[in-house]
């Protein structure tokens, strides 16, 4: 007689597989359709909010980004180091790998589409890269270059690194916002600071604004001082060079997809359709196995 615990174990496994496979299939299909249906915006004329942008990646001025395992310069990276927990001996041909260290870049980089530049803040994004490197070694941190084999038999560690290089074509779906260089948000603070500076020299303040000659600055005269301070601050702001507007692409506040991919749009949509097909096949197989399991129990 079969162990009842085995039945409940496989019921749980297959139930999770059915739910997970179905959810992934619909999610990947939804992403593929969204990529195909969402029009590509241009940085110069993009509306504020959720947009799709395509351009070349560039390093943000004054920054450098080095992939930690290969030491190659790039604009974004992700790595994973795994340690072997199984063996390739006759008793166990399938090695098992456990992740012991991982990380990803969250340093901003620039997307340039020819009409303008936007700063991409990759924190929280789903990232797909066109280049990955996998190699093996005997140390917790790689000392051998990719492609070099260890001379000591079966290696203990596996290194995995993905990168997006400068000047690669990058596809971004995310929240677009523009910080205008013409807004003077600190005007009131500047006026208050200037008035405080004038107050430090009471004699000069009275001489300048005591219109009736009573030796003090009345409420009405103080209001004239305020107006003159506002005028002086406005003139200072007008004389300053206006900074250029800064465009930023980041994670949406809602549950919308935040995607960064180093792939052309058509190829990217095909990748998600293939993922949807694989997930749907898994969903079908798990559903069939679950039905077979329940049928066997019911007789």
Q: What is the CA radius of gyration of the chain?
A: 31
Strand partners, 174: 51
Pairing of strands 49-59, 76-84: unpaired
DSSP string covering 89-149? STT--S--EEEEEEEE----EEEE-SS-EEEE--TT-EEE-SEEEEEEESSSS--SPTTPP
Let me know if 185 is exposed, middle or buried by CB neighbors in 10 A (0-12, 13-18, 19+).
Answer: exposed
Do residues 53 and 172 make contact, with C-beta atoms less than 8 angstroms apart? Answer: yes
Rounded Cα distance, 264 and 179, in Å? 28
**Could you say which DSSP state residue 8 is in?**
H
What's residue 285's pLDDT? 82
What's residue 39's pLDDT? 79
**Signed CA dihedral, 121, 123, 128, 131: sign only:** positive
Confidence bin at 181 (pLDDT 50/70/90): low
With a cut of 70, say whether residue 25 has pLDDT above it. Answer: yes
What's residue 5's pLDDT? 65
Confidence bin at 104 (pLDDT 50/70/90): very high
Rounded Cα distance, 232 and 238, in Å? 10
30-34, 241-245, 270-274: the lowest-pLDDT one: 241-245
Rounded Cα distance, 50 and 247, in Å? 13
In percent, how much of the chain has pLDDT > 70?
88
What are the structural domain ranges in the chain?
Answer: 1-37+266-299, 46-180+251-263, 187-239
Within its chain, how far is the Cα of 146 from the centroid?
A: 27
Within its chain, how far is the Cα of 135 from the centroid?
A: 26
Query: Can you tell me whether residue 230 is helix, strand or coil?
Result: helix
What's residue 1's pLDDT? 44
Average pLDDT over the chain reads 83
What's residue 82's pLDDT? 95
* Residue, of 185 and 166, whose pLDDT is higher: 166
Mean pLDDT highest for which of 19-23, 76-80, 215-219? 76-80
What's residue 151's pLDDT? 65
**What would the pLDDT profile of 217-269 be if each residue is shown by its tens digit?**
777 777 888 888 888 888 777 777 656 788 999 999 878 889 999 987 667 77
Q: Hey, which bits of 180-272 come out as E strands?
A: 246-250, 259-261
Rounded Cα distance, 121 and 107, in Å? 7
Cβ neighbours around 229 below 10 Å, total: 19
What's residue 186's pLDDT? 65
Confidence bin at 68 (pLDDT 50/70/90): very high
Query: Can you tell me whether residue 197 is helix, strand or coil?
Result: helix
* Residue, of 85 and 274, whose pLDDT is higher: 85
Cα first-last separation, the chain: 13
What's residue 150's pLDDT? 66
**Could you say which DSSP state residue 243 is in?**
P
With a cut of 80, say whether residue 95 has pLDDT above it. Answer: no
94-103, 126-135, 194-203: the lowest-pLDDT one: 194-203
Measured CA distances, 244 to 43, 145, 183, 290 (Å) = 14, 43, 11, 60
What's residue 221's pLDDT? 77
Per-residue pLDDT, averaged over 126-141, amounts to: 92
Rounded to two decimals, the pTM is 0.67
């Amino acid at each position: 007689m079969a162990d009842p615990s085995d039945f409940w174990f496989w019921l749980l496994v297959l139930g999770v597989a059915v739910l997970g496979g179905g959810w992934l299939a619909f999610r990947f299909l939804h992403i593929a359709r969204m990529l195909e249906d969402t029009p590509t915006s241009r940085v110069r004329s993009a509306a504020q909010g959720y947009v799709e942008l395509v351009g070349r990646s560039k390093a943000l001025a004054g920054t450098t980004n080095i992939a930690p395992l290969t030491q190659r310069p790039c604009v974004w990276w992700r790595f994973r180091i795994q340690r072997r927990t199984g063996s390739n001996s006759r008793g166990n041909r399938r090695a098992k790998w456990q992740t012991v260290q991982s990380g990803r870049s969250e340093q901003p980089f620039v997307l340039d589409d020819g009409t303008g530049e936007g700063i991409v803040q990759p924190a929280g994004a789903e990232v797909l890269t066109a280049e990955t490197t996998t190699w093996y070694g005997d140390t917790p941190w790689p000392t051998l270059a990719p492609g070099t084999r260890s001379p000591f038999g079966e290696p203990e560690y596996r290194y995995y690194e993905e990168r997006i290089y400068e000047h690669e074509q990058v596809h971004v779906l995310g929240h677009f916002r523009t910080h205008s260089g013409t807004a003077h948000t600190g005007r009131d603070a500047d006026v208050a600071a200037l008035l405080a500076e004038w107050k430090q020299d009471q004699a000069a303040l009275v001489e300048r604004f005591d219109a009736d000659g009573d030796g003090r600055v009345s409420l009405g005269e103080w209001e004239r001082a305020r107006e003159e301070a506002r005028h002086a601050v406005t003139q200072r702001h007008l004389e300053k060079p206006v900074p250029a507007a800064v465009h930023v692409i980041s994670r949406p506040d809602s549950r919308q997809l935040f995607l960064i991919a180093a792939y052309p749009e058509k190829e990217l949509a095909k990748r998600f359709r293939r993922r949807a097909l694989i997930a749907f096949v898994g969903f079908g197989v798990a559903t069939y196995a679950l039905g077979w399991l329940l049928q066997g129990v019911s007789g």
